[in-house]
Structure 1
């Protein structure tokens, strides 16, 4: 059977993956899913977990601690191990590969000859050896049945005291199909694959600290005539979502990026949307619309169609596949307005469900004040990097905000160790909202973020006035999660009408800026989110008139483009560290006492690179980049590359002196930096290894008597590495530039193109967030900007 047959018959295929950079020893195979995403069977909703396994109470791991992956055969452990090893520069170890290397025969042949017991004995010895010998800097992928012997389960439980053990899951139907067709192992001994799955899942959770769902992705077929062991660039690119989701979990575990919402007196208002679906996957078609304006998702577990742990894991995984917003895991009981049974003498199931939230690595966990105290405190002790929202909902309306009962509830939630408090009451009159604000004012000095709202129609205004994580609804939801909830847009309208959200004017400063797409981007975003602001062009011949605009009371912020990115800096009270290093600002906002400047170009470049680089070309210490140009945007590109870990950089510029000045300046920033200037674009380039990241910061066109003509920097097809890479174009005067055309010709070798309009969108998204504190509604904005952009480009080409 060749690779094309495998692609069409199996969700997991064995392929070799290049492993460049810091890990020459970390070679191995990569198993990739290929079947379309299947719908996981939904267990009966009454089937609550009895033994979900609890994460270690320590929940604190060294960043060098080895990572062990366990799970059923065919779920993608080797895929994750290889991706992680390449990105981390660690060695990837596969227990099955070690077994076959030691025994000099395949696992299937060994079992046929000597039996399963003999195989398990050798496998156990391999596991114990690895866990003992490699406590750090290794990714260890274990065979599906490694948890069968009790001694192995005990060894894994000991290892997770200091290392990370991840239980990897995938859609059951796809994996079972693979197991039926797999020839690497003989059939299961005296049982079916389904029986083995159901029996082992309890052991997997007993031995691991976290559950991770590696959702199946569609893998394109290899071209006709490809070698059986080769992996195509398209196939590695298809694995990008799996890579991003796995590293999101690892960054959270290690505390590198816990993906939290900024809350506090000096932060923007924040919002939560509760998904009131029985199955979150039903929300996928409208998820982008639902997310407009919000900062966090809430999964109301008590409203879901099942309480089975695997079902819950897939709910969280689905949200992570389609959104990077943090997740709040909430299990609301009947007496608190939910559907889960109130606590009884046996609270095992309740405790297990809440523990499972920590296993999934959710960013936030809601704990009711009505939960048994021992459960609440146990989860606070185990929370790791998860934030606890302590909550109380009074549905009876028998307590008031000015009464002692509310104060006692507040103090109880504080004493239990809540990171954020949520107290919800009933508004019987409009004046109850004023009492709420008085209570909030009286406890603000404590410094603990507080969500305080009233329910029902009389309490609607309290939801708009609440500043921290207000629960909002959306017309596309099946139903609101709580009576009296209003939408994000309605919140903004109320804030505007009450004077708490005054209309602001935003601008783009520069010259010439007549064809700027920024007004289209920002005005569309304002209208979509219901914000009362406006954005317009402000073109001047000098920087002096801009100062008067800054001082206008209605000034909300400005984008800054050439030639004022440096000229505006002396007028700013504060300039971000990144903008100082880059030496230019492209974003100005008012702050108390003056104005602040920042640079979003580098963030957009970083996003464009990381969103397009394949797992096969993950950034390592040996990654090389090539930049065209030596102006302000080239400076932003250098900083972006430095931020993501690329230190071997070459610059080519028409004026070599300017390029050398830029290289000398940035080389002083860090001893690791190695920036060199090319004299010419010779063939081959005097660069080793060849660059896998190429960024053009020069204009795509120049003016001539006959109209705009394409700028040709001299790049040739031979300059692009045969290993593939990312070509980023920062100019957007044309959709397809010379650089992108060359990259397209080498698409089959793994080159990915990023158009200049994509860079423009990304930097605009970043600016909008700085301007308003809100995430831009990307789907709507992108569609509108591309519509106008394509119309403008078509007009230019025909004029």
Structure 2
């Protein structure tokens, strides 16, 4: 595993963190930036409480990779959720990668593998792909999947780590034919296509960059939106929105997963899709299913042993609070 040098951390901050950790049997981290509204710690809190574990996922809002790599050396560390801007940057520092993590080229889950000789290996997984897959599988009845999204084009809006996970899930599990990529930056799309091609599944990716092109294409069955909930401002952003509108207004109405749930899962794009007759799946669904997959790595339990129903109830309650606000 490669190393990075941590920046100085205030003594008071370290003391507070140490005091918090001392009360736990094990601890993990949510490592990234702009974490205040993240529901990840809440999700895992429910799991650990229901399992009777004195564990906690601690927010680490930081760009300091060196600090993170230092903190995870603690023997009580069980793993971490890794979010932007670290999903790609963390990979060189890991000892092993799962197949999905390697194929997507992004890591959202760090877990520990203890060897018989006492060494600890820090391993990377990508459970975002599971989150995307299960969002469709759990919310579109199996009998309807063939008519809603299977054997039809898929579409991904965006080009970051979440978009790469969406492309992978559409390709591997959701039986998409072509996969349309819609994004404001051509260079970013080219990078996604090149990476996916190098990993063996880029041949069916199609960059849709004009309204005229969109009008001529068959409508998608599954759309995954991986962009923030901001009104389009630049010319390129406005073109992306118009392309999306063209796709949503085609005769076939499928299902759209709106990955954005921060600060609220009720987005303008989701409202637009719903008004055009699409089934909209909230981003909290992807959060739940990727989080359950993470806890399978961290606790060693099977999915059937984890309190999925209780997690869904808790997240639904949180959504109700956001709706009232």
TM-score, normalised to structure 2's length? 0.79
Cα deviation digits, residues 514-551 of structure 1 (max 9, x gap): 22111111111111121221221112232110011110
Q: 2:241 aligns with which of 697, 713, 730?
A: 713
Q: Is the 8 A contact 2:97 2:125 kept in 1?
A: yes
Q: 1:659 to 1:788 in 2, by over 3 A?
A: same
Q: 1:653 aligns with which of 176, 183, 188?
A: 183
Distance 1:560 1:671 in 2: 25
Which position in structure 1 is the counterpart of 2:125?
598
Which position in structure 1 is the counterpart of 2:292?
765
Distance 1:535 1:626 in 2: 33
Distance 1:610 1:757 in 2: 14
1:794 shift after superposition: 4.5
Distance 2:204 2:297 in 1: 32
Which position in structure 1 is the counterpart of 2:134?
607
Distance 2:231 2:214 in 1: 28
Q: 1:684 to 1:507 in 2, by over 3 A?
A: closer
Which position in structure 1 is the counterpart of 2:274?
744
The structure carrying a bigger helix percent of its residues is 2
1:575 shift after superposition: 0.8
Distance 1:562 1:584 in 2: 10
Q: Is the 8 A contact 1:560 1:588 kept in 2?
A: yes
- SS at 1:685 equivalent: helix
- SS at 1:742 equivalent: helix
2:33 maps to 1:511: yes
2:226 maps to 1:697: yes
Which position in structure 2 is the counterpart of 1:276?
none
Which position in structure 1 is the counterpart of 2:18?
none
Q: Is the 8 A contact 1:605 1:640 kept in 2?
A: yes
Q: Aligned ranges for residues 291-302 of structure 1 at < 5 Å?
A: none
Which position in structure 2 is the counterpart of 1:785?
315
Q: 1:677 to 1:786 in 2, by over 3 A?
A: same
1:676 shift after superposition: 1.1
Distance 1:510 1:671 in 2: 29
2:48 maps to 1:526: yes
- SS at 2:163 equivalent: helix
1:683 shift after superposition: 8.0
Structure with more contact order per residue of length (Cα contacts < 8 Å, sep ≥ 6): 2
Q: Is the 8 A contact 1:727 1:739 kept in 2?
A: no
Q: Is the 8 A contact 1:612 1:726 kept in 2?
A: no
Q: 1:760 to 1:720 in 2, by over 3 A?
A: farther
Q: 1:562 to 1:625 in 2, by over 3 A?
A: same
Which position in structure 2 is the counterpart of 1:160?
none
Q: 1:515 to 1:629 in 2, by over 3 A?
A: same
2:160 maps to 1:631: yes
Q: Aligned ranges for residues 202-217 of structure 1 at < 5 Å?
A: none
- SS at 1:787 equivalent: helix
Q: Is the 8 A contact 2:43 2:311 kept in 1?
A: yes
1:581 shift after superposition: 1.4
Which position in structure 2 is the counterpart of 1:146?
none
2:210 maps to 1:675: no
Q: Is the 8 A contact 2:149 2:221 kept in 1?
A: no
Distance 2:55 2:43 in 1: 13
1:725 shift after superposition: 1.0
Distance 2:74 2:180 in 1: 44
Q: 1:702 to 1:516 in 2, by over 3 A?
A: farther
Cα deviation digits, residues 726-753 of structure 1 (max 9, x gap): 1111010333223322332243xxx321
Q: 1:577 to 1:590 in 2, by over 3 A?
A: same
Q: 1:510 to 1:793 in 2, by over 3 A?
A: farther
1:646 shift after superposition: 1.9
What CA RMSD, in Å, does the superposition of the two structures yield over aligned residues? Answer: 2.5
Q: Is the 8 A contact 2:224 2:256 kept in 1?
A: yes
Which position in structure 2 is the counterpart of 1:236?
none
Q: 1:732 to 1:630 in 2, by over 3 A?
A: same
Q: 1:685 aligns with which of 190, 215, 224?
A: 215
1:717 shift after superposition: 6.0
Q: Is the 8 A contact 1:717 1:742 kept in 2?
A: no
Q: 1:726 to 1:618 in 2, by over 3 A?
A: closer
Which position in structure 2 is the counterpart of 1:724?
253
Distance 2:176 2:68 in 1: 37
Q: Is the 8 A contact 2:219 2:247 kept in 1?
A: no
Which position in structure 1 is the counterpart of 2:194?
664
Q: Aligned ranges for residues 273-292 of structure 1 at < 5 Å?
A: none
1:616 shift after superposition: 4.6
Q: Based on CA coordinates, which of the two structures has the bigger radius of gyration?
A: 1
Structure 2 unaligned residues grouped into runs of 5+? 1-23, 115-119, 234-239
Q: Write out the 4+ residue segments of structure 1 that deviate beyond 6 Å after TM superposition.
A: none
Cα deviation digits, residues 402-457 of structure 1 (max 9, x gap): xxxxxxxxxxxxxxxxxxxxxxxxxxxxxxxxxxxxxxxxxxxxxxxxxxxxxxxx
Which position in structure 1 is the counterpart of 2:282?
755
Which position in structure 2 is the counterpart of 1:395?
none
Cα deviation digits, residues 56-114 of structure 1 (max 9, x gap): xxxxxxxxxxxxxxxxxxxxxxxxxxxxxxxxxxxxxxxxxxxxxxxxxxxxxxxxxxx
Cα deviation digits, residues 369-391 of structure 1 (max 9, x gap): xxxxxxxxxxxxxxxxxxxxxxx
